[in-house]
Amino acid sequence: MKNVEYLWTLLAIPTQLNQPQYFPSNLSLKPLKCRFYFLTLFSTLYSVLIMSISSPLPQETRVMVGMSGGVDSSVTALLLQQQGYLVEGLFMKNWDEDDGTEYCSAKDDLADAQRVCDTLGITLHTANFAAEYWDNVFEYFLDEYKAGRTPNPDILCNREIKFKVFLDYAQVLGADMIATGHYVRRDDYFNNSAGSTRLLKGCDNNKDQSYFLHAVGGEQLAKTLFPVGELEKPAVRLLAEQHNLITHNKKDSTGICFIGERRFKDFLEQYLPAQEGEIVTDKGQVIGKHAGLMYHTMGQRQGLGIGGVKNAPDAPWYVVDKDLDKNQLIVVQGDQHPLLYHQRLTATDMHWINPSDQDAVFRCHAKIRYRQADQACEVTVSRDNNDSSISVIFDEPQRAVTPGQSIVLYDGEHCLGGAVIASRAN
């Protein structure tokens, strides 16, 4: 009966998705585009229907859902409950934020998570992983900024906290599997003797989060369920509203993983001393002052504070490099300036989700930032056992290649893994 309820819920979605609030803000409601959108939604629901019919009833499988207090994890718990899993929730507090700030606190998110669990009639556990987050994520975050790079802590947070510490803790509580509200999918038809699975992009191209999960191992993914990865965001919000979940219209979270939407500059200067320096052009002309190199990243335009420059055209300035030795921020004018673009990069700490005898040189697609369109490239893998690096040549020059960020590799829908960008060249 649980699976019947689940399927009925999904099949009812298209007839009710007729209100503008359920559509992405960038989606035109013109008839042709609407018809295309509904066809996409029907296709998604059909794939979930087939998946549910072909899978055995999971009546004895205990699943611990990572409850964030947001709509995605709320609907994750709902869908798994409807499929017949024995569902419990766990709220992770990974940052001690009793600092009197005005931002939405863990206390508010916990209250929302508790109300959702009360509505669904499931138990909510709580756990504090702040020490693990500091040791395994935040210290790395600070070290990278000290080195002049721009890290992505969400990727490390997923690997070290959500799919390691949380998974281990859930198993201690008796869970067979965990689940999260990430917009990704598993390839359950992938056969691997090591008990791992492959990571696939989410069905919603606008919300696909495989970029952030590329550093998670296939063994951890095999122990995780991602039900909202089969749906698009408007359908997720509608399901939440239909089932009276308080999070149905809650704003999506932004900002640093578990730290929230604090003003970044104010937050960072609490932990790293800022050193003022010069802003210079690529020709070496001093045209301004910066408050600290750590506050700037490649391709940045806003917040540079550069006024009118003598003998320079009236065009925006962009960050293209940092000189750590001289503590200088290097800028150029115009978003098509050649120094903004690079066709080659090297990346270190390459992580393969499913390690195999990868060809030394192969073609694939890659992203160097979240939500970037897939970019065709050629990858060369280091064969030195002490080196986990790759070299990448793109078919087209890439804008604002940023050391410290990740390059993630794809074979169609299949996420192969990724590495941390170390350098770039033309």
Contacts of 65 (CB under 8 A, 6+ apart): 73, 76, 77, 80, 87, 88, 89, 90, 178, 179, 180
**Active-site residue, selected from the candidate residues 203, 257, 377, 415:** 257
Contacts of 376 (CB under 8 A, 6+ apart): 363, 365, 394, 395, 396
CA distance from start to end of the chain: 60
DSSP per residue, 286-354: EEEEES-GGG--TT--TT------TT--S--EEEEEEETTTTEEEEEESTT-GGGEEEEEEEEEEEESS
- Long-range pairs for 11-14 at CB < 8 Å and ≥24 separation? 11/45, 11/49, 12/242, 13/41, 13/45, 13/235, 13/238, 13/239, 14/38, 14/41, 14/42, 14/45
Residue 34 annotated to the active site: no
Taking alpha carbons only, the member of 265, 266, 290 closest to residue 276 is 290
- The angle, 0 to 180 degrees and rounded to 10, between the axes of the packed helices 31-54 and 233-242 is 70
Taking alpha carbons only, the member of 282, 285, 319 closest to residue 302 is 319
A 10 A CB-CB count for 156 gives 22
Report the distance separating Cα 414 and Cα 30, nearest Å: 32
* Strand partners for 224: 178
Residue 377 annotated to the active site: no
DSSP per residue, 52-65: HHHSPP-TT-EEEE
Element spanning 89, H or E: strand 86-93
Taking alpha carbons only, the member of 150, 148, 154 closest to residue 405 is 150
Tell me which residues are annotated as active site: 157, 257
